[in-house]
Amino acid sequence: MEVRIEEGWKKELAGEFDKPYFKTLTDTVRMEYADPRVRVYPPAGKIFAAFDNSPFAETKVVIIGQDPYHGPGQANGLSFSVNPGIDIPPSLRNIFKEINADTGAPIPDNGDLTRWARQGVLLLNATLTVREHQPRSHANLGWSEFTDAAVRAINEHGDRVVFMLWGADAIRKGGMIDRSRHLVLTAPHPSPLSASRGFFGCRHFSQANAFLMANGKKPIIW
């Protein structure tokens, strides 16, 4: 199956595209986008935005979310990110607060994280599509198998990558990561329901940059 995705990722994930689950997944997702009774996010052209904005060879950090934002105009294909002009969601606001406390970086006035992606931060949701106002509505379509394959590819062929895993779902995805080669940082989810249980004060952003610099890579400008 021909899939429009960044060439490095296309090579790494080529084995997935002809598997039965992926055909079933893409057929179902196409029908969902074509159904006039429902709205699906992100826009179809942004489904693989995380991969397109962070080419495989340049990926230095991986941040794993759950599924895209399900409100109008929010999702742009990058986990935790929203389009400019959209109110910053509570979880992302907490991420910015922790970055500010950890590194001193100012809190941005918008929630578009494309600037992180272009520095090699893969902002990967476990599920890449969602119905409007229905969180986790596409969680059982097969996306998790595909995004597991992406994590395995980075684990096997990536060079000293930092994984930031927040919350139980993301931490489970980290079970396949070789911690002798990569840095795995875990914490509760930045949601207001759990951020005070250990996300605040986790200092993941300074730890990530220290690891990158120790391995001869440019730090991320958070």
What is the β-pairing status of strands 130-131 and 121-125?
unpaired
Q: Is the dihedral of CA 85, 129, 117, 176 positive or negative?
A: positive
Say how far apart CA 9 and CA 171 lie, in whole Å: 23
Nearest 5°: the CA angle 74, 75, 79 is 125
159 is catalytic: no
- The CB-side HSE value for 220 (13 A sphere, CA atoms) comes to 30
Q: What is the DSSP letter of 220?
A: P
87 vs 73, 77, 101, 104, CA distance in Å? 10, 16, 21, 22
User: Alpha-carbon dihedral of residues 91, 213, 171, 44, nearest 10 degrees?
Assistant: 60
Q: Which of 18, 35, 67, 169 is catalytic?
A: 67
Provide the annotated active-site residues: 67
